[in-house]
Amino acid sequence: MDPHLLTRRRLLGLFGAAASVPVISACGSSVGGSGGGETGGGGGGAVKVGLVVPQSGVYAALGTDMQRGWELWLEQNGGKFGDRTVETVIADEGETPQTGVPAVQKVLQSDGVDVVVGLVNSATALGVRDTMAEARKLLIVTNAGAEDVTGPGRTPYVWRSSFTNGQIAAAMGTHLAESGFAEGVFAIAPDYAAGKEVISNFTRAFETGGGQVVGSATPPFGTTSDYQPFLTQIQGSGARATFCFFSGSEAITFVQQYAQFGLADTIPLYGSGFLTEGNVLPQQGDAALGVQTTLHYSDQLDTPVNKAFVDAYSSAHGEAPSCFAVQTYDAANVLNRALRTATALDGDALGAALGQVGTIDDSPRGPWVFENQTPRQNIYLRRVENVGGTLVNAVVQDLGPQSQPAPA
């Protein structure tokens, strides 16, 4: 995933974060968790978790959300998985594999953790795959969306509680093909691995449904600030809609310039949900109104579990949760479930137990199951609306459960 913008507010909060999270006392409520009083495998004791998330650099805002989601689950469940006390050691993933891989190695070798949770960067997740296998320790990826993490070459020691890039994009491809846009869509995403993966999976699903991609563009990643040449291409392509993948500062700039160029009124904008997720949305302002995206979560989901989760998170942090918080919250939940039956804390025992957890029926995102070590989960069509003066990703339609797409 690309970065979300690091706001001043979040930066101040980040500087106040401790390097290690102690055992957190119970706070009397359980929202979405499986209950801290149930006995886990191994008859009590402790479990040490390495939470490897960005605390610096362009991904820091995502790391803050992820840490908050993790800590909220522990607060609601007495700081325990079953009857095991949880000790969390936080390490800074940074921006790249050059910082992320050593961070994982540190928590494994120096801190002696039993489990690793986190990772935003897909290259880092792929870069530690062999390390986890050699250590025979479990990694639950709570963001990195590269298909290969849980693709045909997956290791039994790496699981995911988040999404795959193709899963989110393919859902939109199928939807647009079925919604009157088959005559032509323009596809645009940054020229790097995730962008290419998104466009490839969107195109395959859209064309399978009878759609035609009438043009595409891949602006240079991280250096493009003027999208006018690409917007001109879209305008002249004859497209009936645009599909895009942008995140962070690029998402803010692209959405604003798309509206300023006058395309929003004639060629509706669609995208993977990261286009309007988290703290980019208020910065996009009214330019984002009407933009539709697909994602596995919205804080507007009208379920008792999600409403309670949003209330708890918002009360603690003064803002609504993002999918990044939910993904890490759910990692804690599934580890708790696995430790009910796991015979030990090594990766083999925990992996076997994760494979038997069944449906996660108390997640803020809605029910989901592990399929090939990654979530098969409902994907939602969302539209940006102004609700009481606040921009939100309103849920338009539940597109149903989606799997990781099969390799091309």
The domains spanning 8-163+302-372 and 166-295+379-402 adopt the same CATH topology: yes
Beta-strand runs (E) in 30-157: 46-53, 80-81, 84-92, 115-118, 138-141
Write down the pLDDT at residue 58. 79
User: Degrees (nearest 5) of the Cα angle 319, 248, 204?
Assistant: 115
Report the alpha-carbon distance of residue 21 to residue 55 in Å, rounded: 14
Q: In whole angstroms, what is the distance from residue 179 CA to residue 138 CA?
A: 41
pLDDT at 43: 56
**Interatomic CA distance for residues 253 and 9, integer angstroms:** 21
CATH of domain 166-295+379-402: 3.40.50.2300
**pTM, two decimal places:** 0.88
Assigned CATH topology for domain 8-163+302-372: Rossmann fold (3.40.50)
Q: CB 389: neighbour CB atoms within 10 A?
A: 5
CB 90 within 8 A of CB 63: no
Q: What is the pLDDT of residue 6?
A: 35
- The DSSP call for residue 400 is E
The domain ranges of the chain are: 8-163+302-372, 166-295+379-402
d(CA 81, CA 29): 15
Between CA 226 and CA 177 the distance in angstroms is 30
Helix or strand or coil: residue 35? coil
The span from the CA of 23 to the CA of 401, in Å, is 36
pLDDT, one tens digit for every residue, the chain (408 residues): 433 333 333 322 322 233 333 333 222 222 333 333 333 444 579 999 999 999 998 788 899 999 999 999 999 999 999 889 999 999 999 989 999 999 999 999 999 999 999 999 999 999 999 999 999 999 999 999 999 999 998 999 999 999 999 999 999 999 999 998 988 999 999 998 899 999 999 999 999 999 999 999 999 988 999 999 999 999 999 999 999 999 888 999 999 999 999 999 999 999 999 999 988 999 999 999 999 999 999 999 999 999 999 999 999 999 999 999 999 999 999 999 999 999 999 999 999 999 999 999 999 999 999 999 999 999 999 999 999 999 999 999 999 999 999 997
Locate 323 and state its tokens. Answer: 């999918």
* Chain centre to alpha carbon of residue 356: 23
